[in-house]
A and B are shown apart, each in its own frame.
Chain A
Amino acid sequence: MAFESTLEMQGNIAKIALVGELDASVAQNFRDKIEEAASKKAKKLVLLLATLDYMSSAGLRTLVFAKQKMGAGVTIYVVGAQPQVVEPIRQTGFHHSVVMLESYDAAVIEG
């Protein structure tokens, strides 16, 4: 499936849903959404990844970009990532810097 990203703001929580396959050719699309979330002063970034079938290091680099754009204090939640997306996050140590959730947990994210 072609890559798509959508941004929804809920207060100061930016929710970005990713669909399809995220590689270097489409990573700019994802970065654009991050820029938009930053412009809306989001303090929390929720990445909804249940519909993301694949992610390369281009996606990981965008997580670094998100911290740079949104400020080091932003909390990044990675929600519902499939095993093949979780694996590179863990292999590269990025799981230390984000909150990995199996599903959207309002108590954790919005609380």
Chain B
Amino acid sequence: MAQAKLSPVTVSGKFDKMGEALKALRDYAVQAAQQAGLPKSRVEGLRLAIDEYATNIIIYGYHDAGLEGDIDVSATIDDDTLTISLIDSAVAYNPTDHADPTDLDESLENRNIGGLGIMLVRQSVDDWRYERIGNQNHNHFVLKRN
């Protein structure tokens, strides 16, 4: 079963380059999802997930922590799955340690706005694996193709 791979891409994790980086990562995710033959709703879900998580890397992982670095994105497509991997050298952040918001039915002015991005990521992917390797965070977002 052949594995198809898009070429990996590296974007800057600098705060003042965030617009360019997020756009590049979103477009990469869309390209990968379309290549994997995913339906439009899943393509859009992946676009959102990668943007949301990369935003967190840039703002909280690098900028707020006083760090600088890049984000590497790669895609692996096999018969059953598409996996988008993000690698950064920002502060260690294990997303499985953080629970989703529970106030979804609260009135708008009472909503806690933290955690929305991570929740949207979880709702858009079928599996999410995290590893800390050396000084790097490795996040693997998996979508089933069937």
Chain B residue numbers with a CB within 8 Å of A93 are 104-106
Q: A6-14, A63-71, A103-111: which one contacts chain B?
A: A63-71
Out of B18, B22, B44, B52, which one reaches A57, CB within 8 Å?
B52
Interface residue total, chain B, C-beta cutoff 8 A: 30
Interface residue total, chain A, C-beta cutoff 8 A: 28
Chain A residue numbers with a CB within 8 Å of B51 are 23, 54, 56
**A-B interface contact total, Cβ < 8 Å:** 81
Out of B22, B45, B107, B119, which one reaches A23, CB within 8 Å?
B22
Shortest Cβ distance from B115 into chain A, in angstroms?
Answer: 9
Chain A residue numbers with a CB within 8 Å of B55 are 23-24, 56, 58
User: Which B residues have a C-beta under 8 Å from some C-beta of A?
Assistant: 18-19, 22-23, 26, 40-41, 44-45, 47-48, 51-52, 55, 58-59, 101, 104-109, 111, 113, 116-117, 119-120, 123
